[in-house]
């Protein structure tokens, strides 16, 4: 498996997160919590769909998760999910395993950066 470099965007764009939550601390925490609660199960579903060759589910789930990542400012995750979504739309999953591996690493980075938001309650 080839190593994929993360996109050059920030791991977590805090300005985007602030815009999404309108500066409201409770909403910021709710968005961070939604990411933490949803992202790992969603990655598991994506991996299962890739293993099954289910391009339609990969496209749909990647798109949904890309939206969540975009809202919280996880730009690198959103870019990787966009690539996965595009590949699935073209009915190709050749790069999907590499993209998912890179995505799991990137999610770990985002989780580390949102931990203080979740701990600040």
Q: How many CA atoms lie within 13 A of 119 on its CB side?
A: 6
Residue 86 counted as domain residue: yes
Q: Note whether residue 8 is domain-resident.
A: no
Range of the domain at 99: 26-114
- The residues, ordered by sequence, that sit 6+ positions from 20 with a Cβ below 8 Å of its Cβ are 27, 31, 71, 72, 73
Residue 1 predicted with pLDDT over 70:
no
Q: Is residue 18 part of a domain?
A: no
| Structural domain count of the chain | 1
Per-residue pLDDT reduced to its tens digit, 24-69: 999 999 999 999 999 999 999 999 999 999 999 999 999 999 999 9
* pLDDT tens-digit series, residues 64-107: 999 999 999 999 999 999 999 999 999 889 999 999 999 999 99
Measured from the Cβ of residue 86, the count of other Cβ atoms closer than 10 Å reads 14
Q: What is the pLDDT of residue 80?
A: 95
Domain for residue 10, yes or no? no
Name the pTM for this structure. Answer: 0.89
CATH number of the domain encompassing residue 103:
1.20.120
pLDDT band at 8 (very low <50, low <70, confident <90, very high): confident
Asked whether 77 and 7 are in contact (CB, 8 A), the reply is: no
CA-based nearest residue to 4, from 96, 74, 92:
96
Q: How far apart are CA 20 and CA 43, in angstroms?
A: 23
Residue 40 lies in a domain: yes
- Is 47 part of any domain? yes
Could you give the CA distance from residue 91 to residue 75 in angstroms, rounded to a whole number? 24
Least confidently predicted of 8-12, 19-23, 69-73, 92-96 = 8-12
Residue 79: closest CA among 5, 26, 1, 2: 5
5: confidence class by pLDDT, cuts 50, 70, 90: very low
Q: Is residue 49 in some structural domain?
A: yes
């Amino acid at each position: 498996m080839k190593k994929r470099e993360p996109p050059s965007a920030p791991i977590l764009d805090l300005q985007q997160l602030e815009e999404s939550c309108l500066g409201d601390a409770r909403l910021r925490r709710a968005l961070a919590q939604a990411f933490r609660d949803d992202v790992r199960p969603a990655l598991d579903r994506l991996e299962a769909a890739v293993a099954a060759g289910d391009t339609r589910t990969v496209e749909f789930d990647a798109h949904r998760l890309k939206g969540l990542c975009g809202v919280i400012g996880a730009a690198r995750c959103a870019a990787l999910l966009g690539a996965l979504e595009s590949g699935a739309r073209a009915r190709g999953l050749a790069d999907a395993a590499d993209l998912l591996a890179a995505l799991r690493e990137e999610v770990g980075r985002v989780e580390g950066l949102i931990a203080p938001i979740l701990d600040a309650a």
